[in-house]
Structure 1
């Protein structure tokens, strides 16, 4: 995976069990998605200018370990699939430290949405190309 987004666990994100409350993982993935898309030339201002959004269609999260207050993690984002009007990103959340540990994997499918038409749309060719380039760069040679 070639893109990584840092996260520092805040006390406000902790539940009664002393670990990160589930919904915060999706918030982190949204932030990581926006940073990733910005890195391939599709930041939030471009979305607004081109009347496009990437809306969540489906999300799956598998937890394998816990994050606690003051932990630091990296969300590694990669393109998992590119469809006609949707794309899927894989977000792996790794706790930092001497022995990095995978704590969760979030696989989220986004639908390309035309805000002017108020409906889903085919991926714009330049957006598709940006995703394909990122996918190719992350794949082992």
Structure 2
């Protein structure tokens, strides 16, 4: 079962073509990531207290359909992959309403980064377990 994060589409997030500007998808996914990680016990304050950051290593956006200002979207976050020092989240962006449709998918790989040391490091075992538990069997 994916984690759900609601978004209200703003006029300022729409480009001249009438669709959500790509950078806003990434902003929405960043907010959804923090809310998701917080829901499993590893929110932004947990990271900050330890000098850790989940840096974007790679991001892909697959656009399918438009969203308009004042519409609502539902970002469904799930774990795609757990690596040694990285993890990948899938963010499916759905138009909310009686007939929801997927409007975009963002797959983002994050690297576990120690800010004080200035380098990546292996995922915290508690973090890995929380994400594995949240992703369910398989």
Q: Fold match, TM over 0.5?
A: yes
Match of 2:88 in 1: 88
The alpha carbon displacement at 1:2 in A equals: 2.7
How is 1:1-141 mapped onto 2 (pairs within 5 angstroms)? 1-136=1-136
- Structure 2: distance between partners of 1:46 and 1:99: 37
Tell me the TM-score normalised to structure 1 length: 0.94
- Matched residue of 1:122: which SS? coil
- Tell whether the 8 Å contact from 1:19 to 1:69 is kept in structure 2 after alignment: no
Q: CA deviation at 1:109?
A: 0.3
Gaps of 5+ in 2: none
Give the alignment's Cα RMSD to 1 decimal. Answer: 1.1
Q: Which 4+ runs in 1 deviate beyond 6 A?
A: none
Matched positions, count: 138
TM-score (norm 2): 0.96
Q: Quick one: distance in 2 between partners of 1:16 and 1:58?
A: 26
